[in-house]
Chains A and B, each alone.
Chain A
Amino acid sequence: DTGVSQDPRHKITKRGQNVTFRCDPISEHNRLYWYRQTLGQGPEFLTYFQNEAQLEKSRLLSDRFSAERPKGSFSTLEIQRTEQGDSAMYLCASSLGREYTGELFFGEGSRLTVL
């Protein structure tokens, strides 16, 4: 399978704990995105990388959130001191090209439940 893969698919944690999600994009894709989706809503943009550079962060991304893409390949999204409001599906997507017009290829998401 050469699509976008995310790990873990489901994480249950207690409030206050740290969690980390990993995303492996399609290998030749230079752009990588993180989105958050809550029940009954569309995906909301969190952050975006072009190669290893993090070019944009949403206001939704509080100081407890950090994302990296150290070698321009896989990416991690860490949430520190989780809160119940962080419970959501975290989606990773990748795309190819210089222009910001390409379709996004999404992974199946990592569902976070904070108890």
Chain B
Amino acid sequence: AQKVTQAQTEISVVEKEDVTLDCVYETRDTTYYLFWYKQPPSGELVFLIRRNSFDEQNEISGRYSWNFQKSTSSFNFTITASQVVDSAVYFCALLRRGQNFVFGPGTRLSVLP
């Protein structure tokens, strides 16, 4: 079975703080893909990143960075110097070849001014 766990239901930080959102996944497949999506109050899920299971290189995109560790089945997401506009629900998702996306329950991030 495949499963995505986001243990943090809600996180509140003050603007300019760094924050890490945790994601732990379960799958027996050797080929799979991991995603992060952002859902702002408007409701539309916005794609942030995709990693395949063979690429453990960490990635940085502006204030966003992702840490993929197969040894711990984790794909954590860090926002550096958070801003109020980062307030949203963030979903981690797992995709196996030939299967459908499995989303985690989401982490609601509130960035306070």
Contact = CB atoms under 8 A, between A and B. Distances in A.
**Chain A interface bracket (under 10, 10 to 19, 20 to 34, 35 or more):** 20 to 34
B95 A101 contact: yes
Contacts, number: 55
Given A42-B93, A43-B91, A108 B43 contact: yes
Interface in A60-115: 89, 91, 93, 100-101, 103-109, 111
Nearest to A3: B44
A100 B106 contact: no
B100 A45 contact: yes
Nearest to A101: B33
Interface string B10-53: 00000000000000000000000101010000111111001010
Given A91-B45, A100-B95, A101-B95, A41 B101 contact: no
Interface of A: 3, 33, 40-45, 48, 56, 58, 89, 91, 93, 100-101, 103-109, 111
